[in-house]
Amino acid sequence: MTITAAADGSALGNPGPAGWAWYVNDDCWRAGGWPHGTNNQGELMAVLDLFRCTAHLPDEELHILCDSQYVINSVTKWMPGWKRKGWRKADGKPVLNVEILREIDQALSGRKYRFEWVRGHAGHDLNEAADDRARAAATAYQQGVAVRSGPGFVRGDGAATAAAAKAPERQGPVTPTGNRTQPDLLSEPDLFSELDADPFAVQAGPEAAPEAIVEALERELLRPDTRADIGRTGVLLHPEFTEIGTSGRLWTRDSMMMAIEENPGGGAELDVISADRLGGEAVLLTYRSQGRAGSSLRSSLWVLDGTQWRLRFHQGTPEA
């Protein structure tokens, strides 16, 4: 028998109130979170808790649907090398979220499992259900109310496992929530919902042209202090953001967030070449950037997501 479950995480502010959830069906799911954590910690914790809650079924394969390439790569590609290096990366720096990763490493020992990447926010039923519950848990911590934690893993005979309930309570961002109930919060907004009162909104005035707003946001995104603020960067980058870097590397939103979290980099000067409106909800910004690495020609596609302009695609080419 194969157990198919989606695992997802959410953070309101990233870091900020955070939640995680895994979901098999409406009668078999679990969620939790912390007052302060990151989206990646939520994604990892959802996977860890799923392994814990199915530990009594070691012969059954876990088919884990996940929209985080960071999580999939961490567990399936990078973790063996990290372990050999004493949980350090190739550059010698400590691995992020090492406590959760160590526990995942222990939990998957002897288990049969496989990961499948699914695109987030794309209408995949199980992924959307896990995302809703993770977001609801984060919202509960934001509002200071009890988390709706779900029934846990329930087999066909209706017996729920107590594996998660027996897990020891620990301090810090990897502590799972206890079994509590709360009002239904599954419709609450998250980081990528419409931001009617975005505290970070560019002060360009209500009549500012989209081209001016996008240029201001691009300049903000190039600043080191903005890139060091993962919460703000998470607001500016579209959930499906991709970039083709100056080296030719293809970056996803997950990989970009990981990279700038570790190294925000230096600032760059921006010289706009053109700003072209593409319909009413997209602006293509083309410019020359000048930084420590030299001059590059860049283009950014910004799209209107609800009331917030977000960067959907970026490409850079070194200037000869």
- The answer to whether the beta carbons of residues 182 and 74 sit under 8 Å apart is no
Under CATH, domain 2-143 is a member of which superfamily?
Ribonuclease H-like superfamily/Ribonuclease H (3.30.420.10)
Is residue 229 scored above 50 in pLDDT? yes
Q: Which CATH number is 210-318 given?
A: 3.10.450.50
Domain range list for the chain: 2-143, 210-318
> pLDDT-derived band of residue 163, with 50, 70 and 90 as boundaries?
very low
- The CB density around residue 8, as the number of other CB atoms within 10 Å, is 32
Taking phi over 0 as left and psi of -120 to 50 as alpha, with beta for the rest, 97 belongs to: left
- The answer to whether the beta carbons of residues 61 and 80 sit under 8 Å apart is no
Q: Which of 18-32, 103-117, 119-133, 249-263 has the lowest mean pLDDT?
A: 249-263
Is residue 303 scored above 90 in pLDDT? yes
Nearest Cα to 309, choosing from 285, 286, 281?
281
Catalytic positions, please?
8-9, 43, 67, 121, 131
What is the tens place of the pLDDT at every residue in 35-88? 888 999 999 999 999 999 999 898 999 999 999 999 999 999 999 999 999 999
What is the tens place of the pLDDT at every residue in 242-254? 999 878 888 888 7
- How many percent of the chain have pLDDT more than 70? 82
Quote the pLDDT of residue 178. Answer: 34
Quote the pLDDT of residue 154. Answer: 75
Is 210-318 the same fold as 2-143? no
Alpha carbon distance 211, 276 (integer Å): 7
- How many percent of the chain have pLDDT more than 90? 46
What is the tens place of the pLDDT at every residue in 198-215? 333 343 444 578 999 999
Does residue 35 have a cis peptide bond before it, meaning omega lies within 30 degrees of 0?
no
What is the tens place of the pLDDT at every residue in 93-126? 899 999 899 999 999 999 999 999 998 888 899 9
Nearest Cα to 186, choosing from 5, 13, 2, 19?
19
Is residue 183 scored above 90 in pLDDT? no
Is residue 266 scored above 60 in pLDDT? yes
Quote the pLDDT of residue 155. Answer: 63
Alpha carbon distance 124, 122 (integer Å): 6
For the entire predicted model, the pTM comes to: 0.53
DSSP category for residue 12: S
Alpha carbon distance 299, 273 (integer Å): 10
Nearest Cα to 153, choosing from 290, 304, 284, 22?
22
Quote the pLDDT of residue 294. Answer: 78
> pLDDT-derived band of residue 189, with 50, 70 and 90 as boundaries?
very low
